[in-house]
Structure 1
Amino acid sequence: MSLVAKRYAQALFDTAVDKNIVDGMFDEFSTVIDLFKSDSDFMRLLLTPSMNISEKKEILGRVFGAEFNQYLRNFLNILIDKNRFEYLVEIEESFRQLVFPYKNMVEATVLTVVPLDEAQRMTLEEKLAKRFSKKVILNNQIDESIIGGAVVYVGDQIIDGSIRNQLNQMKTNMNNSRLQ
């Protein structure tokens, strides 16, 4: 993570805390990042050196208009002014790292063969919240190589309930019993 990203993220976080809008800022910034990640052409457009600053700001204003809070809109404009828009994704990652401990939240990734339905997702979030004593933000990723079950990553911890892992454990046990 670059020092530039950390500094801008800290400034945005401090503003959000000062104005008591951490939740809203987090949600809106996540929405902005999702848009840029899903539409790389939009990001490239705003990074185009030949486009002047006022044109870039006008585009941002049209896309993120009045439904976004003024502090986030101002922040995005400052990134344009200071030629720091290329750091947007890194800034959001740094911002997320500041918000999670502040809000007693943790991000978890669960790998499954098929997408979790809403009931499964909610049940898993509740179980993880109890285990870690934090609100859990769950990302579901598909990985057919696990064969079945699930693998959950929370911080530096791994909970591997995959069929692939169970088969590997049986194989290891069988190999160890042959050696004895």
Structure 2
Amino acid sequence: MENSGGIQASLAGRYAAALFDLARENKALDAVETSLKTLESALDQSADLKRLVTSPLVGRDAAAAAIKAVGSTLKLDTLTANFLGVLAQNRRLRQAPAVIAAFRAMAANHRGETTAQVTTAHPLSADQVTALKAKLKTRVGRDVAVDMKTDPGILGGLIVKIGSQMIDGSIRTKLNTLAHAMKG
């Protein structure tokens, strides 16, 4: 497995690489990836969970106990739940979102895919996501895993990031460009 040196150079990347290696050895890549997606969704939706993960005031033991309860509630696989316990004990829960992103990139690379981060104003339907993946595949020449985010602030359109490439087709950017052009 070839990992990007840039991913592994970060703290979150090293944790993600360790989790990826454990998941691959235990043939649990899909289960871990599903659990991480569930955790990411919970972090986006729960202010209390986000506070638990980011607060420096929560002690190691309290964070470990809380994250164990969260893992049980979210029905995370054992490997992911144990890994989160390690993050809590090492006071690295704050790194969880970056670990999730790095793990997802490693898993996509392992499957021969590239990952595209797509931001839309509104959630896309399954058909729209499928069509977007097909367009991106023709552009990059590989299968594309799509990491979807919604941001109503872009007003409409979408922003696609693949590696260092960014395609900004958002209405907000178009309006800003037009306003700048009108100023002279």
Q: State the TM-score, normalizing by the size of structure 2.
A: 0.69
Q: What is the match of residue 79 of structure 2?
A: 71
Identity %: 26
Contact 2:118 2:159 in 1 (8 A): yes
| Cα deviation digits, residues 103-152 of structure 1 (max 9, x gap) | 222232445565533322222222323443213315264523xxx76554
Aligned-partner residue type, residue 103 of structure 2? F
SS at match of 2:50: helix
Q: How does 1:126-141 map to 2 (within 5 A)?
A: 126-132=134-140, 133-139=142-148, 141=150
Change (3 A) 1:28 1:48: same
Contact 2:114 2:145 in 1 (8 A): yes
Q: What is the match of residue 161 of structure 2?
A: 153
Q: What is the match of residue 176 of structure 1?
A: none
Change (3 A) 1:24 1:135: farther
Q: How many residues align?
A: 164
1:26 to 11, 26, 33: 33
SS at match of 1:65: helix
Contact 1:106 1:136 in 2 (8 A): yes
Q: What is the match of residue 99 of structure 1?
A: 107
Gaps of 5+ in 1: 172-180
Q: What is the match of residue 177 of structure 1?
A: none
Aligned-partner residue type, residue 87 of structure 1? Q
SS at match of 2:69: helix
| Counterpart-to-counterpart distance in 1, 2:131 and 2:59 | 48
SS at match of 1:153: strand
The Cα shift of 1:86 comes to 2.0
Contact 2:118 2:149 in 1 (8 A): yes
| Counterpart-to-counterpart distance in 2, 1:121 and 1:16 | 27
| Cα deviation digits, residues 46-103 of structure 1 (max 9, x gap) | 53535450x3333222222183211111111111112222222222232233222112
Q: What is the match of residue 38 of structure 1?
A: 45
| Counterpart-to-counterpart distance in 2, 1:149 and 1:49 | 40
Contact 1:112 1:151 in 2 (8 A): yes
Gaps of 5+ in 2: 1-6
Change (3 A) 1:138 1:74: closer
SS at match of 2:76: coil
SS at match of 1:116: coil
RMSD, matched Cα: 3.2
Q: Which has the larger radius of gyration?
A: 1
Change (3 A) 1:15 1:161: same
SS at match of 2:24: helix
Bigger CA drift: 2-11 or 42-51?
Answer: 42-51
Contact 1:105 1:136 in 2 (8 A): yes
Q: What is the match of residue 96 of structure 2?
A: 88
